[in-house]
Amino acid sequence: MPELPEVETIARGLDAAVGGSRFRRIKVHREEAVRPAEPADFRAALRGRCVERVSRRAKWLVAQLDDGGRWLTQLRMTGRFTWGPVSPLRSAPHLSVSFLMDSPTGVLRFYDVRRFGRMWVVDPEAWSGLDERLGIEPLSEGFTPDTLAAQLARSKAPIRNLLLDQRRLAGVGNIYANEACYRARLDPRRPAGSLKPQEVRALHAAIRKVLSAAITRRGTTFSDYRDILGGQGGFQNKLEVYGRDGQSCRRCRGTVERTVMAGRSAFFCADCQS
Ligand SMILES: [Zn+2]
């Protein structure tokens, strides 16, 4: 599932491709991609609108429109955009929505194998309501060791679980939460409220470092994630613990272990994370 670095990479790609471009025609091939809206209403909300810029908020793609509205997309498990010249479609399995764009002219297509992805259009008020409910952006200036300390304080929840809470910290998912704990030498199972100030500082630095490094490498590709030109990410080669259970820790030669917390795998080295 795409997390902050993958969605950021796609947002930048979309911004470069369709920033300044106008929707000429929209075709909804699968209605569930735009639910609960009616496909006709979804098309009407975008037709003729210009995309001013595309950015990311949490794990959402946010396209700002020239009428102040936002076209939002949640990629979820397998949602994926492609951008290319106008061309006839021979066959298009898993195509959910396509957008014919003007100046520059091209076709943006949204594919979704597992069909969990969703897109919708909101007015400025509805957008600020949604935005307010999301947690702080971990790469923003406002996210400091003190902010993190306040979020962790008094919580008995394991650190890893707390890092996944989108109302606290926006965009961090299971891959980068595990990687950040490893880089900070913290056992992901520890109660969040038990961290000492220097451990909070180490975790804060690790979160920012791992997310920035992953953006530089255009994200992590295990299976489905691709950028809008079909390229894979490169961060899967840099993962220290995620998906490496049974292999040796690159820092201490201990063994990377896997456990399940809150229904999802957690990965850590019991020898050098405490
Ligand atoms: Zn180790």
pLDDT of 136 over the 90 cut: yes
Residue 90 in this model has a pLDDT that exceeds 80: no
Per CATH, the architecture of 4-133 is what? Alpha-Beta Barrel (3.20)
Active site residue 179: no
Encoded tokens for 232: 């894979």
Per-residue pLDDT band for 89 (boundaries 50, 70, 90) equals confident
Cα of 139 vs centre of ligand 1, distance in Å, is 27
* pLDDT computed for residue 1 by the predictor: 83
Total-model pTM = 0.95
pLDDT band at 113 (very low <50, low <70, confident <90, very high): very high
Q: Is residue 75 very low, low, confident or very high in pLDDT (cuts 50, 70, 90)? A: very high
Q: How far is the CA of 11 from the centre of ligand 1 (A)?
A: 35
In whole angstroms, what is the distance from residue 181 CA to residue 271 CA?
13
* Sequence-distant (≥ 6) Cβ neighbours of residue 169 within 8 angstroms: 135, 136, 138, 143, 151, 163, 207
Q: What is the mean pLDDT of residues 42-66?
A: 98
Q: 59 an active-site residue?
A: yes
Question: Has residue 69 got a pLDDT over 90?
Answer: yes
- 3-state DSSP of 251-270: CCCCEEEEEEECCEEEEEEC
Confidence of residue 88 (pLDDT cuts 50, 70, 90): confident
pLDDT at 108 over 90: yes
Let me know: does 24 contact 69? Beta carbons within 8 Å.
no
Residue 172's nearest CA partner among 255, 56, 42 is 56
Residue ranges per structural domain of the chain: 4-133, 145-269
Distances (CA, A) of 107 to 65, 82, 87, 136: 18, 8, 8, 33
Query: Cis peptide leading into 39, omega within 30 of 0?
Result: no
156 a catalytic residue: no
| Mean pLDDT, range 214-224, rounded to an integer | 92
Q: Is 91 a residue whose pLDDT tops 90? A: no
Domain 145-269 has CATH 3.40.50.20: no
Tell how far the Cα of 255 is from the centroid of ligand 1, in angstroms.
7
Q: Which of 22, 56, 57, 59 is catalytic?
A: 59
pLDDT for res 160: 97
Which band of pLDDT confidence, cut at 50, 70 and 90, is reported for residue 105? Answer: very high
Q: Angle, nearest 10°, between helix axes 174-183 and 197-216? A: 130
Which pLDDT belongs to residue 204?
98
Mean pLDDT across 78-84: 94
